[in-house]
Structure 1
Amino acid sequence: MSTPSAAPEELTKPKMTHREVLTALSGLLLGMFVSMLASTVVSTSLPVIIHDLDGNQAAFTWVVTATLLTTAISTPIWGKLADLFNRKLLIQIAIAIFVLATAAAGFSQSPEMLISFRAVQGIGAGGLAALSQVLMADIISPRERGRYMGLFGAVMAVATIGGPLLGGVITDSLGWRWNFFVSLPFAILALIILQRTLHVSPRVKRKVSIDYLGIVFLSAAVALLLIWVTLAGDSFEWWSVETVLMVGGAIVGTIAFVITELRSKEPLIPLSLFRNRTFTLATIASIATGIAMFGASVFLSQFMQLARGATPTEAGLMTIPMIGGLLVSSIGVGALITKFGNWKPFLIVGSVFLIAGSYLLSTIHYDTNFALVSLYMFLLGAGVGMTMQNLVLVVQNTTNPSEIGVASSGVTFFRSLGGTIGVSVMGAALAAKVTELVTAGRDDITAAIMGLGADAPKWAETLQSGTLPQVSTMPESLRVLFEDIYAQGISHSFLIAVPFAVISLIAIVFLPNKPLTRMTTSERIQASEADLATVSVPEGMGVLAATGAVRTMDAGDAAPSAASATAAPGSDR
């Protein structure tokens, strides 16, 4: 039996140069920038948007939750598609869906319309979240990825710092609707650059089967759980018929999803992944990271505007310390991991920062010294920066290369799911606490309104409507009361993130400390194919030369041979 001649040629193909990698990453980086900019540019203006659309606190929470929900649900779907179809085409489709839905949201006339478009936006965001990780693994090895994480950190910083500032300026000068249109030119440019610069290996053509039932059951289970968390205690009692139906439906949907995944030829989330201890523990840790990351981005902006009376522009400036912590930690830790190849200590320190930041933010009041609030935000941002991308990195390092898509998207899915549930629970806790404090302080609020003279009827009607107030425009006597109420409510909601951050630390401590391979996903797949080819030829034939080429290419790695590259996943099970 002859050996396929393509294998040695592919294996001896030189690695991409630094310039070639940068060129390939350019469109991917711009795509991520578009995604983050479209999300962050509206973050500081959301209180104004919900106020103008006559929405309440529940509407505020659902505008965020709708995007996170569809992002979480669609992420594993995109990840599975990445293992089956052309990844370049998929990420271009994801960008198009995301930006068109974002632009459509700018024409919203009601909270419900805005929530609907944000839900569609999340479908595209799920694709960008999953596919960017998969494509990175295609062209950059885990050991070398830290060198390029600085670029991703810079993109995240520009979008995350610049987005809220730009959104605040646009809202204060042109109106909030223009926030939804600003990302369109960047999206068009990203599509053009991706088409010209991103070149990925073609997928092996084979008959594929889409797990439609799995998609339905997963969507139903997650949606029912989040709708229950958001509405319970407000629209109906925690212990009620609605609770039984929604929680029961979520449990049934989860059981049906597990059964479907066990029987499916192409499961959406292969349950065999959970045999890998690294994947399971990283998934648990990702949930806490998601709660901290999304919870902070949503409620810190609300804290600045509702508890400190800031304008949207000022709120964007005031959240810079958190983004600074994320930027410094993600770039610095990425470089250190590449240099020393040791990732675990940084993840442990990051999880400790998550605990400290979440707890300290639960102690803030409307008059807390802003220097202290900045320190707390910096700690939380540093914790997110150290853990978020590196949890995906360690999973990709030990996962079978044929399952990189579903494994990467699996971790991202649980991070998004954690964030979605976290925002829902924190939003529900905030709404309940605010209602409780308004009821307890009714006499003081009434006295403040009565002291407004001719303006008293207007403010009484505004507060009775249930619409999210614009605290910065309130008279001084009312503003102080509501700043205190919202500060207590938001700080109370941050306390929810603390136990999850503790669980994250425990999971990270028990992560197997596997050395990072220097091989990209494409090289690992080629090495695996070469190993399979050696089985069918006598010892001493030319295929062994191909194996030697792999050893040379992977010099310095802890497990240099092609065989060890494919055995890594199994060694952790």
Structure 2
Amino acid sequence: MNEQLNHNQSAQKHGKNVLLILTLAFSVLLSGVTVDMVMPVLGLIGNDLGASEAQTSWIVGGVALVLAIAIPFYGRIADFVEARKLFTIGVLILTLGNLIAALATELNMLVIGRMIQGAGMASVSVVSIIVISRVYPPGQRGIVLGIVAGSIGIGTAGGPIFGGLVGQWLGWKALFWITFTLGILIAISAQISMQKIYPLESEKNKTFDVIGGISLGLMIGFFLLGITLSENQGLTSYLTMICLGVSFVALVILTIRIRTASNPFIPPILLKNRAYVRSVLIIFLSMFAYFPILVFIPLLVVEVNGLSPGEAGMLLLPGGATVAILSPIIGRLSDRIKHEILLIAGLLCMGGSTFFLSTFSGGSPITLSMGVLGSGIAYALINSPANNFAVSTLNKEQVGVGMGLFQGALFLGTGVGSALMGTFLALRRKGENAINPIYESHVPHYSERHII
């Protein structure tokens, strides 16, 4: 009798564990899809809402801006608020943003809905990692992080495919109705599968550094805004320089707070943790290189090869499938071998893939899909080990703010990478000679985007 009872309890626990992993995986998958699904249909949205290309860019840029600002805040708030509640609030905010976007009849309403989506996605992204770090021990953590990282990769690569196909068949508003429905289901699943995870006792009596948090938000927000504006107005334009200036002033204030506040928003010990700082730099640079591939390869094949948005999105499928297959495997490996080996392999693979894409930009779409496949392998080799490495360098009191900053660096890399490469693409569009010495096709500006 007791054996049967223990067996039933073990089965129930296993079932909840599986549901928790699925909930976390599908939540970050939904976030990744929501960020990127609009890219193939920006032209359709612009035509329907009477918006210019520069105006519709805020449909993507607004999300990246809010994500980069909000993620570190959620990481710090997780030190004070119960994790399941914070996760559920984030999913519901994301769902509300989808509803507003689905009902939008003008561009401003759509951009507001997208920015609300970003505020919700920020919670999902960082709290998922915090939940994993507090529920699973080091020996089991890698594979779960791998599953979640794979889901992020699938969402990032699959978003344009989903957006292109559904947008063409059912219209762009259908994208938001589908994600709205999925958000409700994930919120319900979180209540069933996720246990309450309360803040650590050592964090309860600490104060929240409001000035430091605002300074960090202003620094990231105005920096990303300045880079985004430079795409249309140039790096030396008046508005761009003002934004970058405000960002610099905020950086100075943040530095002062780190040195003088009794409980600063960014604990100085994090900045002295060289292993953690390396992991943050690696994830920033890897996303700086990877995300623009997902943005500009579809643009390239639509402009040069004459593919439809749906066909262009399908070129990203090999990379997304590779990330889905490899991420759990590499996550498990990161529990058993040195993280540095996987990270170095991933960085070398990313460098080789971007050089390949630089060399064959303007060539066959099938050839380009091979470069996308290589970048997907690189992403899988980097993302899971970098997450696992970052978590392993932090003690329990540092996980919230530390992983918030880590995830913030990830999304900052995506925003800065795509914006800077967009600016460079615009500046070099009339260039005749490519930097890549072995490039022979007729679109050197696309070649240079990848080699840089």
Question: What band does the TM-score fall into relative to the shorter chain?
Answer: 0.7 to 0.9
Q: Partner of 1:359: helix, strand, or coil?
A: helix
Output the aligned Cα RMSD. 2.7
Verify the 8 A CA contact 1:58 1:431 in the aligned structure 2: no
What is residue 199 of structure 1 aligned with on the other side?
195
What is residue 48 of structure 1 aligned with on the other side?
44
Task: Report the AA paired with residue 35 of structure 1.
Answer: S
Point out the structure with the larger helix share: 2
Deviations 1:518-552, CA, capped at 9 Å, x for gaps: xxxxxxxxxxxxxxxxxxxxxxxxxxxxxxxxxxx
Give the drift of 1:22. 1.9
Q: Give the alignment's TM-score, normalised by structure 2.
A: 0.86
Please say which structure displays the higher CA radius of gyration.
1
Task: Report the AA paired with residue 343 of structure 1.
Answer: H
Verify the 8 A CA contact 2:161 2:317 in the aligned structure 1: no
Verify the 8 A CA contact 1:106 1:181 in the aligned structure 2: yes
Distance 2:101 2:200 in 1: 38
CA separation of 1:302 and 1:370: change in aligned 2, threshold 3 A: closer
Verify the 8 A CA contact 1:218 1:257 in the aligned structure 2: yes
Distance 1:488 1:62 in 2: 27
Give the drift of 1:73. 1.0
Distance 1:417 1:139 in 2: 27
Identity value in percent: 23
Verify the 8 A CA contact 2:63 2:114 in the aligned structure 1: yes
Alignment counterpart, residue 493 of structure 1, candidates 438, 449, 452: 449
Give the drift of 1:336. 2.6
Gaps (5+ residues) in structure 2?
Answer: 1-9, 433-440
What is residue 449 of structure 1 aligned with on the other side?
none
Deviations 1:341-375, CA, capped at 9 Å, x for gaps: 43321111001011112222223333x12332122
CA separation of 1:418 and 1:164: change in aligned 2, threshold 3 A: closer
What is residue 452 of structure 1 aligned with on the other side?
none
Alignment counterpart, residue 220 of structure 1, candidates 209, 218, 221: 218
Alignment counterpart, residue 253 of structure 1, candidates 234, 246, 250: 250
What is residue 309 of structure 2 aligned with on the other side?
312
CA separation of 1:80 and 1:304: change in aligned 2, threshold 3 A: same
1:294 aligns with 2:291: yes
Task: Report the AA paired with residue 129 of structure 2.
Answer: Q
Q: Partner of 1:181: helix, strand, or coil?
A: helix
Give the drift of 1:325. 3.1
Distance 1:247 1:331 in 2: 39
CA separation of 1:170 and 1:276: change in aligned 2, threshold 3 A: same
Distance 1:60 1:259 in 2: 38
Distance 2:224 2:164 in 1: 29
What is residue 172 of structure 1 aligned with on the other side?
168
CA separation of 1:153 and 1:280: change in aligned 2, threshold 3 A: closer
Give the drift of 1:255. 0.4
Q: Partner of 1:421: helix, strand, or coil?
A: helix
CA separation of 1:258 and 1:194: change in aligned 2, threshold 3 A: same
What is residue 391 of structure 1 aligned with on the other side?
386
Figure out how many residues of one structure are paired with residues of the other and give that number: 432
Q: Partner of 1:257: helix, strand, or coil?
A: helix
CA separation of 1:231 and 1:296: change in aligned 2, threshold 3 A: same
Q: How does 1:51-450 map to 2 (within 5 A)?
A: 51-149=47-145, 151-152=147-148, 155-156=151-152, 159-160=155-156, 163-204=159-200, 206-232=204-230, 234-235=232-233, 238-239=235-236, 241-338=238-335, 340-366=336-362, 368-434=363-429, 436=430
Distance 2:235 2:154 in 1: 42
CA separation of 1:239 and 1:32: change in aligned 2, threshold 3 A: closer
Deviations 1:286-344, CA, capped at 9 Å, x for gaps: 11122123222222232232332222221221211221332333133123334x34332
Task: Report the AA paired with residue 173 of structure 2.
Answer: R
Task: Report the AA paired with residue 144 of structure 1.
Answer: Q
Gaps (5+ residues) in structure 1?
Answer: 1-13, 441-483, 497-573
What is residue 5 of structure 2 aligned with on the other side?
none
CA separation of 1:23 and 1:230: change in aligned 2, threshold 3 A: closer
Alignment counterpart, residue 35 of structure 2, candidates 13, 20, 39: 39
Distance 1:430 1:54 in 2: 25
Distance 1:109 1:63 in 2: 14
Distance 1:161 1:224 in 2: 27
